[in-house]
Every structure is written in C-alpha cells, then in structure tokens.
Amino acid sequence: MLKGKQIYLCALEREDLPYLMNWRNQEEFRKYFREYREINSDMQKSWYEKKVLNDAGTVMFAIRNIENAELIGCCGLCYINWIHRNADLSLYIGKDFAYIDDFGYAKESCSLLFNYGFNQLGLEKIWSELYEFDLKKIELYQKVGMQIDGVLRNQYYYEGKWWNSKIFSILNNEWQERRGRID
C-alpha cells in the first residue's frame, strides 16, 4: 500500500472491475483513452488477468479514500521497460465522474506513483501521451513537474478532426528536486 494524506494506492481487486468498466465507458472519459470503444465485462476481466495479474511491465493500483476505503479511481505504471527504466503513467478519477478532480486526489496519486516508480522501482523516466484536448490532465501534469518532450502530429482522430498528442515526462532527478513541492 502506498499511503498519502487523502488517498492510498493498493492492489486492484476483481470487485473493482465493474466500477472501472463503468467509468471507462463514460463517453466523456473514453475520448481520453487509447481504447476508443466501449468495453464489456469480458474485455475488462481479460485486461485484469493479462495485464494486472500477469504482466511484469504493468503495475496498476486502486485509488481509495483514506477515511473510508471508497474506490475513487485507478492509476499505475504501464509498458515498464526494465532495461531503459521508463514507464507510461496511467491515471483517472472515476468518483463522481470527475476524470481529474479538484480535490487533489489525482495530484496526490501522481506524487505517490512518482515516489514509487523512482525510489522503489528505480525508474529513470515516467512519461505519458495526452491528446491536446485533454486540458485537465495537461494542466495536472504540468503542475506536478512533467514537461513536454514532443508532439505527435495528427495522432488521434476524434469527432471528425485530427488531433495532436503531446508526450510528457518527468525524470528521476527532476522529481527528487521537486519532491514534496507539488503545488
């Protein structure tokens, strides 16, 4: 368990899957994910069994409220490259269909994940690909010290238009310098 002030991160359980599926299937959420289609319970279970339980390159967590253990979201490190020591950051707050909340849960989740990734797993870089219209997450990632590494032009087709992707990252030394100072 990774414990913060408002939330803690712990292993995802099978009982969490219906909540995750419901949140991910919300049209307002789905547009931000690589999985563009609605998922069903078989797809959700398959992801859980293949990625969460059996893929050494994926470490996923349930985000829970520290006061009552309520499931409020999901986060993790995916596509972990153990040779080059980097991973893709995955994060969303499902409670009240917030996606990225105003209460600090998402920010605290980033802090706990960065600390875990850099100090426990020995990663050098944590990165993420965001579509340019994902303004809430772009703002969050900039607040937690991630920087834009580059832009992938016309990477995503949504609502009849091509959108660019932005690649964000934070390096181990950048996190160590910022640690404890996420505004």
Please list the alpha-helical segments (H only) found in the chain: 17-24, 27-30, 41-47, 105-115, 135-143, 172-178
Residue 55 CA neighbour count, 13 Å, CB half: 17
**Structure confidence by residue, pLDDT tens digits, 115-137:** 999 999 999 999 999 999 999 99
Q: How far apart are CA 84 and CA 93, in angstroms?
A: 29
**Structure confidence by residue, pLDDT tens digits, 57-69:** 999 999 999 999 9
**Structure confidence by residue, pLDDT tens digits, 21-47:** 998 888 888 788 877 788 899 999 999
Residues in the chain: 183
Mean of pLDDT over the chain: 93
Pairing state between β 86-93 and 71-81: antiparallel
Q: What secondary structure letter does DSSP report for 152?
A: E
List of residues 6+ apart from 163 with CB closer than 8 A = 131, 132, 133, 154, 155, 156, 157
pLDDT value at residue 34: 79
Phi, psi of 114 (to 5 degrees): -65, -45
Q: Which of 158, 146, 32 lies closest to 100 in space, CA to CA? A: 32
Q: Which of 103, 182, 180, 102 lies closest to 141 in space, CA to CA? A: 182
End-to-end Cα spacing for the chain: 24
pLDDT value at residue 114: 97
Q: How far apart are CA 34 and CA 170, in angstroms?
A: 21
User: How many CB atoms neighbour CB 88 within 10 A?
Assistant: 19
Specify the pTM: 0.92
